[in-house]
Chain A
Amino acid sequence: METLIFIAMNKQKRAQNHTSKVLDGLANEITPREQARTENRMLLALKIDDARKAKGWSKQVFANEMMQQPSVISKWLSGTHNFTADTLWDIEDKLGVELIAVKEREWKVTRVVEYKIVVQGPGIFTTGYVNPYTSLPAIEPVTSEPKPYKYG
């Protein structure tokens, strides 16, 4: 393999784009559903591995915590494993990461701020309402010249 790479690098400085009917045909055979399933499995493995690293755990420590063999952990992280729900909940518990969302999220409005500001210039007038999620004022265009308003 090293010889092949050496030859390739010496012959061309930049790799050419390569397409072929065989490879394109193969890619086209994969249905969106199949691709999504592969993607989900690989992203799930990545999420677990990122959570493991965030905890500062080696794969051995993670294996010990989960009471599994290191080879099982390798399979989990391979991106091909089909987890049971129970295993995912166990991993969630150990790593403190959400992998399965079954509970409805509770949305809380923390605060609503109303204010009025003076804006000089045509075409802009604030409604006095701040979106609590973006902290940006809602703005309505106006068709007439706004009247100046002094706050307080």
Chain B
Amino acid sequence: MKLATYSGSEATIYSVILEEDEQRQITLFEHFVTENLKEHHEEVKDIASRLIVIGTKTGARDIYFKDWEGKPGDGVCALFDNPDKHLRLYCIRFGKGVLIVGGGGYKPKSIKAFKKAIN
């Protein structure tokens, strides 16, 4: 789904809807916002503001993202959180013009990438 509010002439920003959310039409990005808005209000606002700049002014430049945030080779990167803050939004970037945003969350600086729990 194209996020019309955040997209612009420089980049189109998409998010995805999981099958269980298809009826309610809630994207992963909306889940991210809803889950984190109360506790990390300013950081969520900051990320939204950065998405607007990416969509309307600069495009999805590689310098704004931190690579290798997912499994090796999956192309998942993180929208750079503010150095003083800890919230990260995971994305997949296709050049400067297309960005798919997913979920994310709070991550302490000591952890380089989210580690999958070993069952």
Q: Complex formed: what's the CA distance from A42 to B4 in Å?
A: 21
B59 to chain A, nearest CB (A): 9
By the criterion CB–CB under 8 Å, are B57 and A23 in contact? no
Considering only CB atoms, which chain A residue lies closest to B50 in the complex?
A38
By the criterion CB–CB under 8 Å, are B15 and A18 in contact? yes
Q: Complex formed: what's the CA distance from A78 to B64 in Å?
A: 5
Question: Is A91 in the interface zone, CB < 8 Å from B?
Answer: no
Q: Complex formed: what's the CA distance from A26 to B5 in Å?
A: 10
Taking CB atoms, residues of chain A closer than 8 Å to B3 are 18, 23
Q: Given the known A-B contacts A27-B6, A45-B63, are A79 and B80 also in contact in the complex, defined by CB atoms under 8 Å?
A: yes
B60 to chain A, nearest CB (A): 11
Interface size of A by Cβ–Cβ distance < 8 Å?
Answer: 35
Q: Which of A4, A7, A34 sits near B45, CB closer than 8 Å? A: A34
Taking CB atoms, residues of chain A closer than 8 Å to B74 are 1-2
By the criterion CB–CB under 8 Å, are B26 and A20 in contact? yes
By the criterion CB–CB under 8 Å, are A19 and B4 in contact? yes
Contact with A along B47-75 (1 / 0, CB 8 A): 01110111001100101101000100010
Taking CB atoms, residues of chain A closer than 8 Å to B61 are 46, 49
Other A-B pairs beyond A1-B74, A5-B100, A8-B16, 8, CB < 8 Å? A1-B90, A16-B2, A17-B1, A17-B2, A22-B34, A78-B63, A79-B53, A79-B64
Interface residues of B (CB under 8 A from A): 1-6, 14-19, 25-27, 29-30, 33-34, 37, 44-46, 48-50, 52-54, 57-58, 61, 63-64, 66, 70, 74, 76, 80-83, 90, 92, 100, 102
10 contacts between A and B (CB under 8 A): A15-B1, A18-B27, A22-B30, A27-B6, A30-B45, A30-B48, A75-B83, A80-B46, A80-B82, A80-B83
